[in-house]
Amino acid sequence: MSPSPLHTPLCDLLGMTHPVVQTGMGWVATPELVAAVCEADAFGFLAAATIPPPEVDAAIARVQELTQRPFGVNFLMDAPGADVITDAIIARGVRAAGYNRAPDAKLIGRLKDAGVACVPTCGAERHAVKAQQLGADAIVVQGGEGGGHTGSVPTSILVSQAADAVDVPVIAAGGFRDGRGLVAALAFGAAGIAMGTRFLLTAESPVPKPTTDRYLAAGVFDVVISHEIDGLPQRMVVNELVKELETKGPIGRLLFAARNALAFRKATGASIPELLQSGLALRSHERLTRSQLLMSANAPMLARRAMAEGDPVHGYLPSGTIAGAIDDRPTCEELVRRIIQEAERTLAALAV
């Protein structure tokens, strides 16, 4: 009997049953959500980018208390404390490390030497090619429908391009929520799908109800791309915050960003020299202007306001376009099961 097309090389690489990945969303991908995803036979990434580096080891240990299944840790390689997070990943025997902007060849080398699978996220074909050259074992390729920072190339086109350009498994991200989407991703050449918004809207998600209610109430046309948060294109659910920022002048926006930069420093425990070093690295890789560099502190702090503090009016609501098609909060187990069941039915119907 031939193996199921739903068991892909990605499943063997990450040690999961189903080719479904939960992305490392800041303030959302907590140990509890990650463990629930993994217990559902999918694969979760802990969001370390919004955890003070000295506390990441304890967060990893918490995931390991909740599940015996493999999982990953997502972090920013250009941020203060990236070496501390790398140490924790290696020491705890974490299965995979996720990262995106400003990949660090030295840290990637350390992870690979320790047997950690390297799974970066890319938003362009050329970035995927570079990621493989740097040692990626699999690559999350996010199309324009994805939430947060995003590009303009649709997922269907970008994933197909990347799958042809690299030799490692590609994980399709941006616009996925169900089994039909999984089958479509496999047809594009991917080895699985990665979902952020769909897992944000599950029963185990830590996001407070006032915020999830705003997501569930959004229609497709309420999910927009805006430059108002940090000067770069980001996809989000439009809200009062975005409308307010649109009315601020350049000086007002910079003062607003400066306050968030100070709050970010306090939240992360990073020193001013460390933040400057991180900012210079980010500016080098992303070609940011000085104002965009300062505004970059907006996204994590405004996301915390919505995702952790439950204020969807004054916080930022990063979201994939798919939020406009989601109207429920199943458990992770229910979600993954119905994705796989629908994928199997879809494949069977195509084979008739």
pLDDT of 251: 62
| Residues 138 and 280 reside in one and the same domain | no
Does residue 115 form part of some domain? yes
CA gap 51, 313 in Å, rounded? 24
- pLDDT at residue 300, rounded to an integer: 79
* Total count of domains within the chain: 2
Question: Are residues 97 and 156 both part of a single domain?
Answer: yes
Per-residue pLDDT of the chain (352 residues), as tens digits, is 457 899 999 999 999 999 999 999 999 999 999 999 999 999 999 999 999 999 999 999 999 999 999 999 999 998 889 999 999 999 999 999 999 878 999 999 999 999 999 999 999 999 999 999 999 999 999 999 999 989 999 999 999 999 999 999 999 999 999 999 999 999 999 999 999 999 999 999 999 999 999 999 999 999 999 988 877 889 999 999 888 888 876 666 566 566 655 555 556 565 545 444 544 444 445 555 544 554 555 677 888 999 999 999 989 999 999 999 999 999 999 999 999 999 999 999 998 7
Residues 278 and 299 in one domain: yes
Question: For residue 54, is it within any domain?
Answer: yes
The gap from C-alpha 219 to its chain's centroid, in whole angstroms, comes to: 22
Q: What is the pTM of this model?
A: 0.90
Task: For residues 45 and 185, state if they share a domain.
Answer: yes
Three-state SS annotation for the chain = CCCCCCCCHHHHHHCCCCCEEECCCCCCCCHHHHHHHHHCCCEEEEECCCCCHHHHHHHHHHHHHHCCCCCEEECCCCCCCHHHHHHHHHHCCCCEEEECCCCCHHHHHHHHHCCCEEEEEECCHHHHHHHHHCCCCCEEEECCCCCEECCCCCHHHHHHHHHHHCCCCEEEECCCCCHHHHHHHHHHCCCEEEECHHHHCCCCCCCCHHHHHHHHHCCHHHEEEECCCCCCCEEEECCHHHHHHHHCCHHHHHHHHHHHHHHHHHHHCCCHHHHHHHHHHHHHHHCCCHHHHHHCCHHHHHHHHHHCCCCCCCCCCECCHHHHHCCCCCCHHHHHHHHHHHHHHHHHHHHC
Indicate if 159 and 244 belong to the same structural domain.
no
| Residue 66 counted as domain residue | yes
Quote the tokens at residue 100.
């995106």
Q: Are residues 46 and 149 in the same domain?
A: yes
Q: How many CB atoms lie within 10 A of CB 151?
A: 17
Cα separation, 122 vs 261, whole angstroms? 26
Does residue 4 belong to any structural domain of this protein?
A: no
Examine the domain organization and report whether 49 and 173 are in the same domain. Answer: yes
Give yes or no: residues 50 and 148 share one domain: yes
Looking at residue 79, its pLDDT comes to: 87
- Cβ-based neighbours of 242, under 8 Å, separated by 6 or more: 224, 226, 228, 229, 236, 316
Find, among 40, 70, 36, 75, the residue nearest to 55 by Cα.
75
CA–CA gap between residue 346 and residue 340 (Å, rounded): 10
Residue 207 phi/psi, 5-degree rounding, is -65, 130
Vertex 282: Cα angle to 291 and 78 (nearest 5) = 140
Q: Is residue 72 part of a domain?
A: yes
Q: Tokens 């997501």 identify what position?
A: 215
What strand order describes the sheet that includes 223-226? 148-149, 234-237, 223-226
Residue 113 is assigned to a structural domain of this protein: yes
The domain of 267 spans 211-321
Same domain? 188 vs 239: no
Q: Closest by alpha carbon to 207, among 194, 190, 199? A: 199
Q: How far is CA 133 from the centre of its chain?
A: 22
Question: The CATH number of the domain where 165 resides is what?
Answer: 3.20.20.70
**Does 240 reside within a domain?**
yes
Together in a domain, 165 and 294: no
Q: In 10 A of CB 249, how many CB atoms? A: 8
Do 241 and 182 reside in the same domain of the chain? no
Strand 139-142 relative to strand 96-99: parallel, antiparallel, unpaired?
unpaired
- Is residue 6 domain-resident? no
Do residues 204 and 244 both lie within one domain?
no
